[in-house]
Amino acid sequence: MAKRCIICSEEAEYKIKDTPDYYCKGCAEENFADLTLLVRVEEEAQKLKKFIDEKINNEQDENHEQDDYSGEN
Ligand SMILES: [Zn+2]
Protein backbone atom coordinates (compact mmCIF):
# COMPACT_ATOMS: atom_id res chain seq x y z
CA MET A 1 0.00 0.00 0.00
CA ALA A 2 3.11 2.21 -0.11
CA LYS A 3 2.77 5.34 -2.22
CA ARG A 4 5.20 5.92 -5.06
CA CYS A 5 7.01 9.11 -6.00
CA ILE A 6 5.37 10.61 -9.11
CA ILE A 7 8.80 11.49 -10.51
CA CYS A 8 11.06 8.50 -9.96
CA SER A 9 8.64 5.87 -8.60
CA GLU A 10 10.67 5.36 -5.45
CA GLU A 11 8.70 4.81 -2.26
CA ALA A 12 7.20 8.19 -1.35
CA GLU A 13 7.85 9.83 1.98
CA TYR A 14 6.10 13.12 1.30
CA LYS A 15 2.92 14.34 -0.34
CA ILE A 16 1.56 17.76 -1.13
CA LYS A 17 -1.27 18.59 1.18
CA ASP A 18 -4.73 18.10 -0.36
CA THR A 19 -3.34 16.66 -3.61
CA PRO A 20 -2.64 13.10 -4.74
CA ASP A 21 0.99 14.02 -5.58
CA TYR A 22 3.59 11.94 -3.76
CA TYR A 23 7.35 12.45 -3.68
CA CYS A 24 10.32 10.60 -2.30
CA LYS A 25 12.64 12.57 -0.05
CA GLY A 26 15.16 13.28 -2.81
CA CYS A 27 12.64 14.58 -5.34
CA ALA A 28 10.79 16.54 -2.68
CA GLU A 29 13.98 18.33 -1.70
CA GLU A 30 14.86 18.93 -5.34
CA ASN A 31 11.47 20.34 -6.28
CA PHE A 32 10.50 22.09 -3.08
CA ALA A 33 13.00 24.23 -1.27
CA ASP A 34 10.56 24.36 1.60
CA LEU A 35 9.53 20.91 2.77
CA THR A 36 6.95 22.40 5.11
CA LEU A 37 4.70 22.64 2.04
CA LEU A 38 4.69 18.88 2.07
CA VAL A 39 3.24 16.49 4.58
CA ARG A 40 5.00 13.36 5.68
CA VAL A 41 3.07 10.39 4.36
CA GLU A 42 3.84 8.66 7.64
CA GLU A 43 2.27 11.45 9.70
CA GLU A 44 -0.91 11.32 7.65
CA ALA A 45 -1.10 7.59 8.20
CA GLN A 46 -0.50 8.04 11.93
CA LYS A 47 -3.22 10.69 12.12
CA LEU A 48 -5.66 8.38 10.40
CA LYS A 49 -4.71 5.52 12.67
CA LYS A 50 -5.17 7.71 15.75
CA PHE A 51 -8.58 8.81 14.50
CA ILE A 52 -9.67 5.22 14.00
CA ASP A 53 -8.27 4.14 17.37
CA GLU A 54 -10.14 6.94 19.14
CA LYS A 55 -13.33 6.02 17.33
CA ILE A 56 -12.98 2.40 18.42
CA ASN A 57 -12.19 3.42 22.00
CA ASN A 58 -15.21 5.71 22.13
CA GLU A 59 -17.45 2.92 20.98
CA GLN A 60 -15.99 0.60 23.58
CA ASP A 61 -16.55 3.22 26.30
CA GLU A 62 -20.19 3.50 25.29
CA ASN A 63 -20.56 -0.23 25.59
CA HIS A 64 -19.01 -0.17 29.06
CA GLU A 65 -21.52 2.45 30.18
CA GLN A 66 -24.35 0.29 28.99
CA ASP A 67 -22.91 -2.64 30.94
CA ASP A 68 -22.79 -0.50 34.08
CA TYR A 69 -26.43 0.48 33.77
CA SER A 70 -27.65 -3.08 33.36
CA GLY A 71 -25.52 -4.07 36.36
CA GLU A 72 -27.34 -1.57 38.60
CA ASN A 73 -30.71 -3.01 37.79
ZN1 LIG B 1 11.47 10.60 -6.42
Higher pLDDT among residues 2 and 7, named by residue: 7
In which band, very low, low, confident or very high, does the pLDDT at 21 lie, cut at 50, 70 and 90? very high
Per-residue pLDDT reduced to its tens digit, 29-66 = 998 877 787 888 888 788 889 999 999 999 887 766 66
DSSP state of 39: E
DSSP state of 11: B
CA of residue 18 to ligand 1 center, whole Å: 19
| Predicted pLDDT of residue 48 | 87
CA of residue 50 to ligand 1 center, whole Å: 28
| Predicted pLDDT of residue 61 | 79
What does 50-62 look like in DSSP terms, one character per residue?
HHHHHHHHHHHHH
The dihedral through the CA atoms of 63, 64, 69, 73 has a sign that is positive
CA of residue 11 to ligand 1 center, whole Å: 8
pLDDT (average), residues 24-33: 90
